[in-house]
Structure 1
């Protein structure tokens, strides 16, 4: 395909990964974002092997590994701190020939931005709409400027407005039933965790997780099933969590006492049900704009990276642009629908909305050798695009 002029709306991990992939397909790419300064949402992310494979193909996998944590062991404990199961992830990595990379979102953004080139990213000037032409699209920017492009990639996240235009309807997000507090904390023996270990404490539909993210830091999160619309100021985070996790084990109490509310985020978790379509005309949706998912499978970022790879591949052939975008939709729809649906079902089980299945899961964890969980991870990873 000839060199295309492509505009990307949104400079998150999906938008930046897509920019790299399209640049490497020899297209002219520019990314616009409404924020005044690029700051990633959240503290860290686990990039599973299907996402890492995409990053390797794009030439940034090595840089990602340098600044990521080591994740070789997975463990589950109950609220009293009793071990339910612990097992190695190395057999999984050896079988699929790729590891996972838990990483600070700040480090991830820095690596991706460097690969794209800061001169190809404009902040404080977001995409607010578009006008479809016969064979092109006119992109409307918040500063009043209009830019003609061959393709507009909508990577504007879970609150995407462009997906409404693509689907000719308002797409409402679906509440997944729980609130998540997430942040980072420095290693301490009081956390009772290995340097390469991911621990999840689960009981009563609640969950506390600790995962190494590099730099001697751990990414933590708390999940609590709560009604939609609950809110709290940062000054209330510790009191909230002390109430919700009263009586839980000493490492959890240490975590609550020692995390910094100033660098901690509290979010209600939402997803979107499968969209009617991912493209219209010369506009295409990727990432959370296309398939916002709950984090219960750890695949949100990985799906965006897969999107980037498939879109760049389709725009590397000699098909007409609209046909290429339709092909992208065909290749992605089943995959993203499957992962979003499985993650939502897992959210309902984990957080007690399917109580018997939650209790069964706790019993299964106590008997788990690691084989079942590794096989589940393997199936998800091998369903990727590389």
Structure 2
């Protein structure tokens, strides 16, 4: 088939690679003039890594991944260790190491694998229609697209989703702002082989190792939506938001480069079950936009990619039958994880002070199994189990 993918993010690129391996002719159209990663890094949990392994990218993704052997929670104000444990039992149970990776590195690797000559930039889709067993799309620059199948990997603001559902759904503000970036690994910040999270006051500061001796960092602060975004004020704001917090957090604030730090107001979308209409199908954030609180957004897009490609390959009752099977397989799992992330978000960011303080106390008693069971429950159930 001639397949058009709208969006050259991780989901669109992974889908394109999978479909090409099954012999389809695939072209990707991206609205931006230059592909820039949304955020500094991503938690690729074992299910996401397995999707890339399935596509023959085992060595490539391993080179990008940080060595995350341990997990720890630290009291952000006192610096006291609340819990610390090895992730080896988790890795052994699910059969694959997780990899925190730089988004830019991952996106470049996926573009190289797909073939940059088949990625067209500056192509903002503005209209979409179907007739004569084809999909026709028009871009703002006048480009016209004709395909047997159009895949909307166009993110949380998806125009393709609007076509599939017949309406544009509203995003829901999750109640907090996230700042993220990359810094050099330093023992003054955290243990080099560990995912370290400082918690307190409904806020989080987290550090995860990625390749090239770097930490991915993020700050989470519950705040109203729509506040001014001024990079020149980032460090002053962090000093205010994290006043009285422990020395490693202050060291991180001093170490960051505000000019390369990203700021994101975190949203999700109420789950829905319709993922296709005739010859148009959605995946990734277009289909199930989630908060990042359980680290499954990118992984779920990769699961979509694998299952969609396989559904088109192994089912022979026609295109719509394959898309229906993809939809019915993916919407239950992905939507469950959207709601699971939302629940974790509310606990972490002190929507109810008593609930969050109880979580802090539970962390002080945690030996590892309970947290790992939660992570494993997100990983299992993927299309490659």
TM-score range, shorter chain: over 0.9
Q: Is this contact kept in 2: 1:71–1:212, CA < 8 A?
A: yes
Is the contact made by 2:123 and 2:143 (CA closer than 8 Å) also made in structure 1? no
Aligned to 2:114: 116
1:231 to partner: Cα distance: 2.4
Report if the CA contact (8 A) 2:273-2:331 is conserved.
no
Secondary structure, counterpart of 1:304 in structure 2: helix
| Within-5 A mapping of 1:276-291 | 276-291=273-288
Corresponding residue of 1:318: 316
Per-residue deviation, 1:197: 0.4
- For 1:239-318, what aligned pairs fall within 5 Å after superposition? 239-316=236-313, 317-318=315-316
1:290-318, Cα deviation, whole Å (9 max, x unpaired):
11100000000000000000100111031
1:189 is matched with which residue?
187
Residue deviations 1:6-60, cap 9 Å, x none? 0000000000000001111111000000111111111111100000111000011
Aligned to 1:328: 326
Residue correspondence of structure 1 range 52-71 to structure 2 within 5 A = 52-71=49-68
**TM-score, length-normalised on structure 2?**
0.97
Secondary structure of the corresponding residue to residue 81 of structure 1:
coil
Residue 155 of structure 2 corresponds to which residue in structure 1?
A: 157
Q: Is residue 179 from structure 1 mapped to residue 186 from structure 2 by the alignment?
A: no
Superposition map of 1:1-386 within 5 A: 4-79=1-76, 80-191=78-189, 193-316=190-313, 317-386=315-384
Gaps of 5+ in 1: none
Alignment root-mean-square deviation, CA: 1.0
Question: Aligned partners of 1:265, 1:282: CA distance in 2, in Å?
Answer: 36
Counterparts of 2:143 and 2:347, CA distance in 1: 47
TM-score (norm 1): 0.97
Whether contact under 8 Å (1:43, 1:183) holds in the other structure is yes
Structure 2 residue matching 1:297: 3-state secondary structure: coil
Structure 2, unmatched stretches of 5+, are none
What's the CA shift for 1:91? 1.1
1:258: Cα distance to partner? 1.5
| Structure 1 outlier segments of 4+, above 3 Å | none
- State how many pairs are aligned: 382
Q: Secondary structure at the match of 2:293?
A: helix
Distance 2:360 2:341 in 1: 18
Q: Quote how far apart the aligned CAs of 1:68 are.
A: 1.5
TM-aligned CA deviation for residue 228 of structure 1: 1.4
CA–CA distance in 2 between the matches of 1:135 and 1:319? Answer: 16
